[in-house]
Amino acid sequence: MARYQVGIRTETKIIEATRQLLAEGGLDAATLKAICDRAGVQAGSFYNIFPSKEQAIMQVARDAIQVVDPDPEHAGTDTLDDLVDAYIRFVIDQSDLARIYLQLAVSGSSDDSVARRFLRHHVRRVERFAAAMLRADGALADDEATTKAEVLLGALDGLAFRWVLDRTFDFAKHARIAASHYG
Amino acid sequence: MARYQVGIRTETKIIEATRQLLAEGGLDAATLKAICDRAGVQAGSFYNIFPSKEQAIMQVARDAIQVVDPDPEHAGTDTLDDLVDAYIRFVIDQSDLARIYLQLAVSGSSDDSVARRFLRHHVRRVERFAAAMLRADGALADDEATTKAEVLLGALDGLAFRWVLDRTFDFAKHARIAASHYG
DNA sequence: CGACTTTTTGAGTATACACTCCATTTTGGA
DNA sequence: TCCAAAATGGAGTGTATACTCAAAAAGTCG
Q: Mean pLDDT, chain A, as a whole number?
A: 87
- In chain A, domain spans: 5-57, 69-180
Above pLDDT 70, what percent of chain A? Answer: 90
What CA–CA distance (Å, rounded) separates B135 from B76?
9
Chain A residues near residue B27 by CB distance under 8 angstroms: 107
B109 touches chain A (CB under 8 A): yes
pLDDT tier at B110, thresholds 50, 70, 90: very low
The pTM score is: 0.85
Cα A89 from chain centre? 13
What CA–CA distance (Å, rounded) separates A66 from A87?
15
Contact A18, A30 (CB under 8 A): yes
Please compute the mean of the pLDDT values over residues A126-146 and round it to a whole number. 93
pLDDT for A35: 97
How close A19 gets to chain B, by Cα (Å)? 16
What CA–CA distance (Å, rounded) separates B51 from B61?
16
- Encode pLDDT of A94-107 as tens digits: 777 777 877 877 77
Above pLDDT 90, what percent of chain A? Answer: 51
| CATH architecture, domain A5-57 | Orthogonal Bundle (1.10)
pLDDT tier at B179, thresholds 50, 70, 90: very high
User: How many angstroms is C1' of C18 away from CA of B104?
Assistant: 23
pLDDT for B126: 94
Among chain A residues 84-113, those with CB within 7 Å of any atom of strand D: none
Q: Measure Cα distances from A77 to A69, A135, A152, A176, A182 in Å.
A: 16, 9, 19, 20, 18
- Whether nucleic acid strand C comes within 7 Å of the CB of B49, the answer is yes
Task: Just give the CATH number of B5-53.
Answer: 1.10.10.60
Above pLDDT 90, what percent of chain B? Answer: 60
Q: Who's near B82: CB < 8 A, 6+ residues apart?
A: B70, B71, B132
How close A183 gets to chain B, by Cα (Å)? 12
Please compute the mean of the pLDDT values over residues A120-130 and round it to a whole number. 90
pLDDT for A76: 75
- Cβ–Cβ gap A153/B158 under 8 Å: yes
What CA–CA distance (Å, rounded) separates A92 from A104?
19
pLDDT tier at B160, thresholds 50, 70, 90: very high
- Residue of B85, B159, B162 lying closest to B129 (CA atoms): B85
- Residue of B152, B22, B19 lying closest to B99 (CA atoms): B22
Q: Is the pLDDT of residue B114 over 90?
A: no
A27 touches chain B (CB under 8 A): yes
What CA–CA distance (Å, rounded) separates A51 from A32?
12
